[in-house]
Amino acid sequence: MVRWEIRAATRDDHDALLALSRHLDSVNLPHDPTEIADLLAHSEASFRGQVRDPRRRQYVFVLCDRETGRAVATSMIIGQLGRKDAPYIYFDVFEEQKYSATLDRHFRHTVLSIGFSYDGPTEIGGLVVHPEYRLTPDRLGMLISYVRFLFIATHRADFRDELLAELMPPLEPDGTSHLWEAVGRHFTGLSYREADRLSKRNKEFIKTLFPDGDIYVSLLPREAQAVVGRVGPQTRGVEKLLRRIGFRYANRVDPFDGGPHFIAPTDEVVLVQRTVRRRIRRGIVAGGVRALVARETASAPWFRAVSATAFVGSDVVAIGDEACRVLEVDDGDEVAVLPLD
C-alpha cells in the first residue's frame, strides 16, 4: 500500500502548514497566518515558473497521510540565501590562541566575527514532522528531507553550487536564545522573536547595528557560551542525516541564536548523485528497493512523489500499479527516482 505522498504545497495547505509551524516557528516557517499565506503563494509561483529568477524561488513540500488526508510534515528549498538586497549574514567562528612567557600561561579563545555574503548558497530548511508521526517505522523525516535533494538534482541549473542547512541550537522552553540575550539585544534593543521576524523582510538593522569587531565568547555569560555552534535536541537527528549525505559544519553560526551552519558542495551530496531519470514500466516488482519516485505536471500540484518499491534499471524503473495510480503515470512516462536503500 502507498500510504505516504509528498507534493508541492498549495494554498489549500494553509491551515495544515500553520499547525505544523507551531512546532518550529522559525524565520523560514513562521507561526503566522499571513506569512504562511505569502509563503505558499511564493511557492506556487516558484513551482509554476512564474518567479523568473531561480535565485528568488522558494519551494514548499508537504507529506500527506493518504489514509487520513492529513498533512503531517513539511520542508522547503530557498533558491539562494544572500543577495544584494538581502545578504546572508552569519558569525564566523574561529579559535585564537594567546600565550604569555612571563606567566607561562596559554589560552584558547573562541571568537565570533560577523560576515556577509551577497552571492550565497541554496538553503534547505523548514523541516518539520508532526510529533505524533515522528516515531513511525516509515521514517517520514527522511522522506520529507530527501525529496528536496531529488528536486535539486532534477533542476540542477536552478540551484547554487553549495547547499546550506541552518540547524536550531538549544533554546529555552519559552524560546529564549541565550546568545541573543547576551549579544543581539544589546545592539538592537529587540527581542529574539522581534529580530527574527524582522530579518525575514529586512536585514539592514543587523548590518548597521551589530558590532564590526571580534566578539570573544569567553566574555559572554556561560549560558551563551554553551550554545555557540551546538545542535539542539530537536535537530540532532537532522545533523546525523546531513553528515551521512555529505554535509559538514562550516564553522559558522546564526548571529541570532548561535545555531550551526552545515554546508556541502551540491554535486557531492550523495542524494543528488543517486537521483536518476527513468521511464516507467508498470508491473510486479521483484527484487526491488525502496525509492522516492517523483513526477511533475503542468497543473496543480505541479510536483508529486511517493515512497514505493522499485526496480531501477538502466533505462526504466518498474513500480507497482498503486504507485502508478497515485503518481498518475503509465508505461513510458518519465519520472525521477532516488533509491533509498
Bridge partners of 253, per DSSP, are 91, 260
- The one-letter amino acid code at 234 reads Q
Mean pLDDT of 88-109: 95
3-class SS at 167?
A: coil
When pLDDT is cut at 50, 70 and 90, the band that residue 155 belongs to is very high
- The one-letter amino acid code at 65 reads D
Interacting residues of 297 by C-beta distance below 8 A, sequence separation 6+:
303, 304, 328
Ranking 6-15, 118-127, 254-263, 281-290 by mean pLDDT, the lowest is 281-290
Residue with cell 536518476: 276
pTM of the model: 0.93
Q: Is the dihedral of CA 79, 84, 90, 95 positive or negative?
A: positive
Rounded Cα–Cα distance for residues 42 and 47 (Å): 9
Q: Is the pLDDT reported for residue 22 higher than 90?
A: no
Mean pLDDT of 305-316: 92
199-218 per-position pLDDT tens digit: 877 888 998 999 888 999 99
| Count of C-beta atoms within a 10 Å radius of residue 132 | 9
When pLDDT is cut at 50, 70 and 90, the band that residue 137 belongs to is confident
Q: Is the pLDDT reported for residue 45 higher than 70?
A: yes
Rounded Cα–Cα distance for residues 289 and 286 (Å): 9
The three three-digit cell numbers of residue 14, written as one number: 494553509
**What pLDDT is attached to residue 29?**
79
**What pLDDT is attached to residue 285?**
64
Mean pLDDT of 324-329: 94
**Domains, in order of start, for the chain:** 82-118+170-273 (no CATH), 274-339 (2.40.40)
When pLDDT is cut at 50, 70 and 90, the band that residue 23 belongs to is confident
The three three-digit cell numbers of residue 200, written as one number: 525575514
Q: Is the pLDDT reported for residue 156 higher than 70?
A: yes
Share of the chain above pLDDT 70, in %: 99
Rounded Cα–Cα distance for residues 82 and 74 (Å): 23
58-85 per-position pLDDT tens digit: 999 999 999 888 889 999 999 999 888 8
311-325 per-position pLDDT tens digit: 998 999 999 999 999
Which of 285, 297, 275 has its CA nearest to residue 322?
Answer: 285
Q: Is the pLDDT reported for residue 163 higher than 80?
A: yes
Interacting residues of 104 by C-beta distance below 8 A, sequence separation 6+:
none
Interacting residues of 220 by C-beta distance below 8 A, sequence separation 6+:
179, 182, 183
**What pLDDT is attached to residue 197?**
80
Rounded Cα–Cα distance for residues 44 and 40 (Å): 6
With left for phi above 0 and alpha for psi between -120 and 50, is residue 160 left, alpha or beta? beta
Given a contact cutoff of 8 angstroms between Cβ atoms, the answer to whether 185 and 191 are in contact is: yes
Mean pLDDT of 233-250: 93
Share of the chain above pLDDT 90, in %: 70
Mean pLDDT, the chain, rounded, equals 92
Rounded Cα–Cα distance for residues 82 and 30 (Å): 19
When pLDDT is cut at 50, 70 and 90, the band that residue 2 belongs to is confident
